[in-house]
């Protein structure tokens, strides 16, 4: 049974569950490094690994941030040595690991974390209006299911303890054009804008209109593992 945490952003969930001050961390699938920088603001030293070569190249040109190193790399082949960091984060990135390598990514995380450290996995759930709105043009149900199966299959073998939580987040868009721009600009997903601008998606999108824009709910699943 997952413990509900209410409405929390990713970094608020981290603040609620772990103290990262003074820790050495890895952010697997770090994207632009935004969350890695937030972890550094809390006193951590962070290596962000980004498997997408386009995003990794952009990261290499970004203004350096103290205590943050952004490099190209893959969760299933971490460059760190055994027992060399205090924690590993997967912020919505485990389901982007190739299916055949998801278990390896979890084992790699366990390998590099020191005894007493943690592995923190954040995955979007397969419920909520945001998930349903996305399905016609970007159905992540299969890969999200594979990620959950990898956690269930591998975690009990390699981690000492397991805590499960759930929080709620919201996707907010000013307009339908903003939705199209967001999903068609992702370098790690090849999404044709024409596949988004279809009647089914427009109807789902329009049904979420509020006084403050278009708002969709998304449950977020958090699995926190400790290393013996």
Which pLDDT score, from 0 to 100, does residue 177 have?
A: 97
Please report the pLDDT score of residue 186 as a whole number: 81
- Would 66 be classed as within a structural domain? yes
For the segment 70-80, what is each residue's pLDDT rounded down to a tens digit? 999 999 999 99
User: Quick check: is 109 in a domain?
Assistant: yes
Give residue 157's domain range.
3-172+219-226
Residue 41 lies in a domain: yes
Domain count across the chain: 1
Range of weakest confidence among 101-105, 113-117, 183-187, 199-203: 183-187
Structure confidence at residue 185 (pLDDT):
86
CATH number of residue 68's parent domain: 3.40.50.150
pLDDT in tens, 162-215: 999 999 999 999 999 999 999 988 877 789 999 999 999 999 999 999 999 999
**131: in domain:** yes
Residue 67 lies in a domain: yes
- Average pLDDT estimate for 5-23: 98
Assess contact for 50 and 69: CB atoms under 8 A.
Answer: no
pLDDT at 133: 97
pLDDT tens, position by position, 36-64: 999 999 999 999 999 999 999 999 999 99
- Per-residue confidence (pLDDT) for residue 156, from 0 to 100: 82
Phi-psi region of 108 (alpha: psi -120 to 50; beta: other; left: phi over 0): alpha
What are the tokens at 28?
A: 């697997």
pLDDT, residue 188, reads 78
**pTM for the predicted model, two decimal places:** 0.95
CA distance 202 to 198: 6
62, part of any domain: yes
Strands (E), the chain: 3-7, 24-28, 45-50, 68-72, 85-91, 113-124, 161-173, 209-210, 213-226
Instruction: Report which of 73, 67, 77 is spatially closest to residue 25, judged by C-alpha positions.
Output: 67
Residue 204 lies in a domain: no
Q: pLDDT at position 187, please?
A: 78
Residue 183: inside a domain: no
Of 4, 32, 33, residue with least CA distance to 16 = 4
């Amino acid at each position: 049974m997952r413990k509900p945490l209410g409405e929390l952003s990713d970094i608020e969930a981290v603040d609620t569950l772990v103290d990262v001050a003074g820790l050495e961390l890895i952010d697997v699938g770090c994207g632009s490094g935004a969350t890695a920088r937030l972890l550094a603001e809390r006193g951590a030293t962070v290596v962000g690994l980004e498997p997408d070569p386009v995003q990794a190249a952009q990261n290499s040109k970004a203004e350096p941030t103290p205590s943050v190193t952004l490099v190209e790399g893959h969760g299933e082949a971490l460059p760190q040595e055994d027992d060399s960091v205090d924690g590993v984060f997967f912020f919505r990135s485990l389901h982007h690991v190739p299916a055949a390598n998801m278990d390896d990514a979890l084992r790699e995380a366990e390998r590099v974390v020191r005894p007493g450290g943690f592995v923190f996995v954040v995955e979007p759930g397969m419920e909520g209006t945001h998930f349903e709105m996305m399905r016609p043009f970007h159905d992540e149900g299969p890969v999200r299911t594979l990620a959950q199966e990898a956690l269930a299959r591998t975690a009990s073998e390699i981690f000492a303890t397991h805590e499960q939580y759930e929080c709620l987040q919201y996707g907010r868009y000013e307009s339908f054009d903003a939705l199209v721009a967001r999903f068609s600009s992702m370098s790690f997903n090849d999404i044709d804008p024409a596949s988004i601008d279809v009647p089914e998606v427009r109807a789902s999108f329009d049904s979420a209109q509020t006084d403050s824009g278009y708002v969709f709910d998304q449950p977020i699943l958090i699995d926190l593992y400790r290393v013996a």
